[in-house]
Amino acid sequence: MPAAVPVSSNRRWELYKLLAEPVRLRLMVLASEEELAIGELSELLGEPQPKVSKHVAPLRRATLLATRRQGRRALVRLADGVAGDPVVADALAAGRALCEADGSLRRVADVVRARDAATRRFFDAPPPAGPVGDLPSELPAYLSALAPLVHPRRLAVDVGTGDGSLLDVLAPIFDRVVAFDRSEAQLARARARLQRRGYQNVELLRAEYDEPELRDRVRALGGADVVFASRVLHHAPRPGAALAALAALARPGGHVVVVDYRAHDDERLRDDQADLWLGFDREELDRFAEAAGLEEGHVHRIPAPRCGDGPDGHLDWQVMLARRPGNA
């Protein structure tokens, strides 16, 4: 059991008063299940967003909830360690019973899945007419991330391959590449690229990153020497869980390379590119890697001038390189 964290108020009766409101009890339980935005909590609780915000405020002041901002959104979670307080633990038990009775606890998973509905629509849209593009303009960023990975080169996995632009880097380097995407529209573009380039060592799959069939296929090939996830995590409803699923594709001793944006405030990417998250702090990536069981994690910055001329080329990127424990 985590150590108890004392409530900010010295008067315990104020804590009882604060926790006497059923909406607050339900809110705390939902925030203990998943870090949720105010709008998501509003949907689950069946309460207007302003009312939810008013309930969050005193709980945050009492150090029962922690909040952080992602652009215009405020994300809420249960503060670390507070469940060890016996009064809070009792309140959470009562709130859990309420959430189970009204069904809101079951709907948390649905809310998380719904986060990427806009992302799915964005990537499933028919591609613009015209030929498959030439070498990606952001190639220097990819090469920066690949520089430490000179051996072994038996198998690479390209996560969320999209139009296959990264295959122009991986296919010439690795003996074999498994590239997957959940969007058939994107895979059609990748197939066109493979045909144009004449790559014979790439296997394209339509799959989600956490599908057992994908994991079994990669393991049947001996596991990946490198799992490369380029600009994928900011589209994942649960980035930490996504990284854990990707880590399982690496062989013991294999590496996971994550290329994504540094934390930023450009809301246009949420609207125009269906981004769920406005980049990540280095500490977040370190925390995701540790939770995924990866070791020897290292994060370094890729400055914007190396990141191409796309809609995200004005941002600084970053690359995280981490290793799955064990030996091949």
Ordered per-residue pLDDT tens for the chain, 328 residues: 444 445 554 567 888 889 999 999 999 999 999 999 999 999 999 999 999 999 999 999 999 999 999 999 999 999 999 999 999 999 999 999 999 999 999 999 999 999 999 899 999 998 777 666 666 778 778 878 887 776 788 999 999 999 999 998 898 889 999 999 999 999 999 999 999 988 999 999 999 999 999 999 999 999 999 999 999 999 999 999 999 999 999 999 999 999 999 999 999 999 999 999 999 999 999 999 999 999 999 999 999 999 988 999 999 999 999 999 998 6
The answer to whether the CB of 27 falls within 8 A of the CB of 55 is yes
Please indicate, yes or no, whether residues 104 and 26 belong to a single structural domain of this protein.
yes
In sequence order, the β-bridge partners of residue 79 are: none
Domain membership flag for residue 173: yes
For residues 148 and 17, membership in a common domain is answered with no
Beta bridge partners of 322: 256
Peptide bond preceding 152 in cis form (omega within 30 of 0): yes
Q: For residue 219, tell me if it sits in a domain.
A: yes
Question: Could you give the CA distance from residue 311 to residue 296 in angstroms, rounded to a whole number?
Answer: 32
DSSP 14-48: HHHHHTT-HHHHHHHHHHHHS-EEHHHHHHHHT--
- What is the rounded radius of gyration, in angstroms, for the C-alpha atoms of the chain? 22
In degrees and rounded to multiples of 5, residue 271 shows phi and psi of -80, -40
Residues 159, 29 within the same domain: no
Q: Are residues 145 and 96 in the same domain?
A: no
Whether 328 maps to a domain, the answer reads: no
The verdict on 168 and 95 lying in the same domain is no
**Distance between CA atoms of residues 62 and 157, nearest Å:** 46
Q: Determine the pLDDT at residue 1.
A: 41
**Does one domain contain both 223 and 285?**
yes
Residues 197 and 310 grouped into a single domain: yes
Q: What angle do CA 49, 51, 54 make, to 5 degrees?
A: 110
Residue 2 falls within a domain, yes or no?
no
How far apart CA 20 and CA 23 sit, in angstroms, is: 9
CATH number of the domain enclosing 301: 3.40.50.150
CATH number, position 106:
1.10.10.10
Look up the domain containing 52 and give its range: 12-114
- Quote the DSSP letter at residue 153: -
* 199, part of any domain: yes
Token pair of 283 as six digits:
């500490």
- Tokens 């028919």 locate to 126
The residue among 122, 80, 86, 96 whose CA lies nearest residue 26 is 96
| CA distances from residue 69 to 58, 75, 77, 116, 217 in whole angstroms, order as listed | 17, 6, 12, 19, 39
Residues 69 and 179 in one domain: no
Does a structural domain hold residue 6?
A: no
| 3-class secondary-structure state, position 102 | helix
Do 170 and 210 sit in the same domain of this protein?
yes
Is 140 found in the same domain as 89? no
Residue 119 lies in a domain: no
Question: Angle at Cα 204 formed by Cα 200 and Cα 205, nearest 5°?
Answer: 155
Quote the longest CA-to-CA distance of the chain.
73
Is 3 part of a structural domain of the chain? no
The token duo for 313 is: 């080329």
Q: Domain check: are 302 and 198 in the same one?
A: yes
| Beta carbons within 8 Å of 172's beta carbon, 6+ residues apart | none
Distance CA 48, CA 258 (A): 37
181 and 107 share a domain?
no
Into how many domains does the chain fold?
A: 2
Mark which of 114, 144, 159 sits at the end of a domain.
114
Residue with tokens 């604060």: 18
Burial class from Cβ neighbours inside 10 Å (0-12, 13-18, 19+) for residue 286 reads middle
